[in-house]
Amino acid sequence: MEKIYSFVVHKKLKTNNNLNMKKLAVVALGGNALLRAGQEGTIEEQQKNVFTTIKFLFDLITLEHNFIMVHGNGPQVGNILLQNHAGAKVHGIPEMPLDVCGAYSQGFIGYLIEQQLRNILPSKDLEKGVVNLITQVLVDKNDPAFKKPTKPIGPYYTKEEAAKLAVDTNSSFIEDPDGIGWRKVVPSPFPKQIGNSKVIEKLARDGHIVVAAGGGGIPVYYDEQKNLLGIDAVIDKDHTSALLASQINADEFYIFTDLKRIVIENGSAEGKVLDVIPIAEAKKYLKEGRFSAGGMAPKIEGAVSFIENGGTECIFIHFPDTPDEPVYQTRIVR
């Protein structure tokens, strides 16, 4: 595939700027951390969730870091698709393809994150620029994922509701492994290159907070005439975050999740709680299919990818449900 300048993988920038002496962290925030299961999805709910998330983030990632935030968009992009479908059905408004809906979600969620960052920064006595970058991510249009949708998006439905929507919208639905309900699934190709990664790294190392590659990035590919085109898919944000962290030589990689502990069945009622997972063990569990394709598997795969490409460790951090709840962490290490 021919590369254009903004997609070229590059080496770490070298500069004497003191800000660049700080550690560079990539932080992956799940879409469910911004819109929780069971919520209606009102703007007030999402503003509150984002504020809580950012405050929690600042309590853990301190002044020793420059960082880049990559957010998920599973619930939001699914809702945008439904709004598109309803507008077309009721008012005849042309429906937008999935890549455009992903771009909508990048702007919408990035706006919320930037706004709440600007509300929190003064209380931390910090003056930082906050930059949102609408980010395109190259994928292979022949990726096998296009023939087997696995990425859950949108709200949860009952089995009966999902069956009706599958017919009405020509979509596929699967049951959540935790039994919460049924969700729409779409293709999730593997990211190949992050657009404007040099710009993202430069801004972050200069001390700005960068929100980039939201929702895993807008999936794009080059046609035979070398024109850049969008394609119907949602890239997993954990795979994209890991690739970005590797491309920019990030020092640390964090994945924030609503999952408290990573547990593997071992014959006991409680199972085996994994607090530290050596990379060889993580790869073994992946090969055995111990993690769900639409849930924990891409997160573990992202962690493994980051470490195999030079990273030291990936840290999974659980969002506490209450202020008194302990902060659970799991580390994937060499």
Which three-class secondary structure string do you get for the chain?
A: CCCCHHHCCCCCCCCCCHHHHCEEEEEEECHHHHCCCCCCCCHHHHHHHHHHHHHHHHHHCCCCEEEEEEECCHHHHHHHHHHHHHHHHHHCCCCCCHHHHHHHHHHHHHHHHHHHHHHHHHHHCCCCCEEEECCEEECCCCCHHHHCCCEEEEEEECHHHHHHHHHHHCCEEEECCCCCCEEEEECCCCCCEECCHHHHHHHHHCCCEEEECHHHCEEEEECCCCCEEECCCCCCHHHHHHHHHHHCCCCEEEEEECCCCEEECCCCCCCEEECEEEHHHHHHHHHCCCCCCCCHHHHHHHHHHHHHCCCCEEEEEECCCCCCCCCCEEEEEC
Domain count, the chain: 1
Question: Does residue 8 belong to any structural domain of this protein?
Answer: no
Q: What is the CATH number of the domain that holds 105?
A: 3.40.1160.10
Query: 3 in a domain, yes or no?
Result: no
pLDDT in tens, the chain (334 residues): 334 434 544 444 333 344 457 899 999 998 667 877 778 889 999 899 889 888 888 877 766 789 999 999 988 888 898 898 888 888 999 989 999 999 999 999 999 999 999 999 888 888 889 999 999 999 999 999 999 998 888 888 899 999 998 998 888 999 987 788 999 899 999 999 999 999 999 999 999 999 999 999 999 999 999 999 999 999 999 999 999 999 999 999 999 887 777 878 766 666 788 899 999 999 999 999 888 776 788 899 999 999 999 888 999 988 777 777 778 889 999 8
For the question of residue 249 being annotated catalytic, the response is no
- 20 in catalytic set: no
Does the annotation count 124 as an active-site position? no
For residue 18, is it within any domain? no
139 belongs to a structural domain: yes
Domain that holds residue 176: 23-333
Is residue 1 included in any domain, yes or no?
no
The one catalytic residue among 74, 79, 237, 294: 237
* Tens of pLDDT, residues 185-215: 999 999 999 999 999 999 999 999 999 999 9
**Do the domain assignments include residue 14?**
no
* pLDDT confidence of residue 10: 42
Catalytic residue check, 299: yes
* Residue of 32, 55, 87, 202 marked active site: 32
Give, in order, the Cα–Cα distances in Å from 253 to each of 70, 80, 81, 151, 239: 11, 29, 31, 22, 12
Average model confidence (pLDDT) for the chain? Answer: 86
Tell me whether residue 12 is one of the annotated catalytic residues.
no
Q: Is residue 17 part of a domain?
A: no
pTM, to two decimals: 0.85
The pLDDT tens digits for 60-117 are 776 678 999 999 998 888 889 889 888 888 899 998 999 999 999 999 999 999 999 9
Residue 326 in tokens = 């302990």
Angle at 154 between CA 140 and CA 97, to 5 degrees: 45
Strands 151-157 and 182-186: antiparallel
Active-site residue among 78, 84, 102, 151? Answer: 151
Strand order in the sheet with 218-222: 193-194, 136-138, 218-222, 228-230
What is the C-alpha to C-alpha distance for residues 71 and 19, in angstroms, rounded to an integer? Answer: 24
Q: In angstroms, rounded to a whole number, what is the distance separating the alpha carbons of residues 173 and 153?
A: 10
